[in-house]
């Protein structure tokens, strides 16, 4: 079977980016970090190419980390393997309501 790869850019990250087509709910992907160390994660949700999954459980309100930096916060609890995007991640910058 074709390798379904998810890349984690920084050790601090709690999300990884999927660089594979056709990743669907329940499928297993290989998450690799910078050093090439890999872990198999079961994906929850259909995840398009270039989109993210959680690599650990994330509490509601907790920061979502990519490139070792905050890219927003969890708007609801996120489980390891969950698809992470605008439905459960909210930006904290450039907002008129904060």
Partner 1 sequence: MSYTFMGYPRPNGKYGVRNLVAVIPSVVCANDVAQAVCRQVQGTIGYFHHQGCCQLPLDLTRVTDVLSRLGQSPNVGAALIVSLGCEGTDHQRIYEEIKATGKPVEIIHIQELGGTSRAIQAGIDAAQRLVQAISGIQRVPVDISNLVMSIKCGGSDATSGMASNCVIGYVADKLVDLGATVVFGETTEFLGGEHILARRAVGGEDGPVGQKIYRIVDEMEKRAMSIGEDMRGGQPTPGNIAGGLSSIEEKSLGAIVKSGHRPIQGVLEYTEMITDHKGLWIKDTPGREPEILTGMAATGAQVMMFSTGRGAPQGFPSMPVIKICGNPNTYERMQHDMDLNAGRILTGEKSIDEVGEEAFEMLLDTLNGRMTKNEALGYFGSMDIFCLGPVI
Residue found under tokens 């995007």: 85
Query: Which among 47, 7, 76, 13 has a CA at the least distance from the CA of 90?
Result: 76
Pick the closest to residue 47 from 35, 31, 60 (CA basis): 31
CB closer to partner 1 out of 11 and 69: 69
Pairing of strands 5-7, 15-18: antiparallel
Binding site for partner 1 (CB under 8 A): 7, 9, 17, 19, 21, 48-52, 64, 66-67, 69-72, 84-86, 89-97
Nearer residue to partner 1 within complex by CB, 26 or 48: 48
Residue 17 CB, shortest distance to partner 1, in Å, is 5
CB of 87 to partner 1, least distance (A): 9
């Amino acid at each position: 079977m074709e390798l379904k790869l998810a890349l984690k850019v920084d050790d601090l990250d709690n999300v990884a980016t999927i660089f594979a087509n056709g990743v669907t709910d329940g499928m297993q992907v290989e998450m690799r970090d910078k050093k090439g160390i890999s872990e198999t994660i079961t994906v929850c949700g259909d995840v398009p190419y270039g989109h993210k999954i959680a690599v650990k459980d994330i509490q509601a309100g907790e920061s979502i980390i990519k490139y070792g930096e905050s890219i927003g916060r969890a708007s609801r609890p996120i489980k390891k393997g969950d698809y992470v995007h605008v439905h459960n991640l909210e930006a904290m910058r450039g907002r008129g309501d904060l």
